[in-house]
Amino acid sequence: MTKQTVMVDGNRLTIEDIYHIANQTKTLQLSDADAFKQRINKGALFVNTLLREEGFIYGVTTGYGDSCTVSIPLEHVADLSRHLYTFHGCGLGAHFDEEQTRAIMAVRINSLAQGFSGVRYQLLQQISQLLEHDILPLIPQEGSVGASGDLTPLSYLAAVLAGERDVRYQEQTQSAESVFNVLNILPLTLNPKEGLAIMNGTAVMTALACLAHQRAAYLSQLSTRITSLVSVALLGNASHFDEQLFTVKPHAGQITVARRIREDLPVACQAPRNDCRLQDRYSLRCAPHVIGVLEDALPWFRQFIENELNSANDNPIIDAENERVLHGGHFYGGHIAFAMDSMKTAVANLADLMDRQLAQLVDPKFNNGLPANLSGAKAEQAMLNHGFKAVQIAVSAWTAEALKLTMPASVFSRSTECHNQDKVSMGTIAARDCIRVLELTEQVAVASLMAAVQAVELRGDTHLLSANLTMTMQQVREHVPFLESDRALEQVLRLCLQLVRGQHWSLYE
């Protein structure tokens, strides 16, 4: 079956478009419409005209950054792009994974497709061709301060377009040159301004932000479903999620979360009972208020991220239509930095919430009669088995690490590059931190989900569960057997983590 496509033609893309390209559920298609080609090429032609007329263009007839006062003789202009991506080849740390790399490439091509970067249509074709063949530059994660954009990581994309450095192709690391030879792809000699156009932008942080948004939105729903399961397991008070209660503090996000929990809870749980507390502990009672912060923030995170995704964010801007070269600072990643710093804080609070819920579930002082550590062992084996004891310790460790990483990256600006880049965004570090917080919170979520399902089964009366909770219980039990005797849970945790990251489990409409 033919995959759906995401058209790149200068019109707006969405976070979901980048997510689908990154996960290969859709393919990127570069428009071949004549009007689009002409609009892109017009910028490159204008740059060439200025060169013939000996115009003065930053990064084309000058050095870069603080070296902008250094004039480049016309006979050396053609070498400048190669020098730019060459001396920036100093990234370190782990490489971005395949999903992240596809997202980076998709975000960069969409920015260049806005038509204000002075590049040829041929350059966009080269990026599109790499994505088509799934030739992925090996891009180190570390080395960007987020203004002048993601220079060092994006230098690896620029170099690969020119047939240099290494790529990931067919699950192997190979030289770009060798892969190009096999596939008869011609290396691209970058024209004046093209090296700068590729590298001097926010594609890396924005790509990570697109992926982070999708993961955060799913985690919001997953933590809500876990809260519903925990409420059932702990004989929680359903009145904490009353519709009227939330009309007097009408944050839309927490109203949504409370409604989802109400719809999850069995009818039997919603009637007044003598066996429930008048007021549950905060990790149950205030769950809509905690999760609701992220729910309310997601729309404005989207606004920040999608505006950046659909912007020309290099420098200088080439306004070929009005024959102007506009020198500015659109490479500055402040909006992404703020969104990522804010998102990781909201997400880490979900980890903390689920950690506290799990602590209640495993502790017989607080779990309303469930076995200690949710052990499912029969009486004669009870003294030997420890259920979810170690899982709860691990969840505490993962939560602590997530909370530790919520220090905002954006406030750690460093003056760099001879004090030319004297105020920088740190947007890429913020985005990388956010991804790590998401990873840790997903680990907390899968452990909490497994424990909550165990707890509900130990409580009994599963035939009374709502359709939503029954569905989740069944989905989990397809992969996670009931924990009766102690067994190592690492592999099943990893499997569930993979399922969560692939968003395979249905939650809310």
Q: What is the 3-state secondary structure (H, E, C) of 134-163?
A: CCEECCEEECCCCCCCCHHHHHHHHHHHCC
208 vs 309: CA distance, rounded Å: 11
Evaluate whether 208 touches 102 at the Cβ level (below 8 Å). Answer: no
Strands 317-319, 324-326: parallel, antiparallel or unpaired by DSSP?
Answer: antiparallel
75 vs 64: CA distance, rounded Å: 17
Evaluate whether 41 touches 49 at the Cβ level (below 8 Å). Answer: no
Evaluate whether 211 touches 305 at the Cβ level (below 8 Å). Answer: no
Q: Which of 19, 58, 121, 508 is catalytic?
A: 58
Helix ranges, 53-175 (H) = 80-87, 98-112, 121-133, 151-161
Within 8 A by CB and 6+ apart from 134, the residues are 24, 98, 102, 169, 170
Pick from 346, 345, 235: nearest CA to 296:
346
169 vs 166: CA distance, rounded Å: 9
Evaluate whether 153 touches 141 at the Cβ level (below 8 Å). Answer: yes
The first and second tokens of residue 61, run together, are 């007839």
7 in helix, strand or coil?
A: strand
Pick from 142, 108, 109: nearest CA to 125:
109
Q: Helices 334-362 and 287-309: crossing angle, nearest 10°?
A: 150
Q: What is the DSSP string of 304-318?
A: HHHHHHTS--SSSEE
**58 assigned to active site:** yes
6 vs 22: CA distance, rounded Å: 11
Evaluate whether 425 touches 336 at the Cβ level (below 8 Å). Answer: yes
Judge residue 7's burial from the number of C-beta atoms within 10 Å of its C-beta, 0-12 exposed, 13-18 middle, 19 or more buried.
middle
Residue 94 phi, psi dihedral angles, 5° rounding: -65, 155
Buried b (16+ CB within 10 A) or exposed e, 251-270: eebbbbbbbbbbebbbeebe
Active site residues: 58
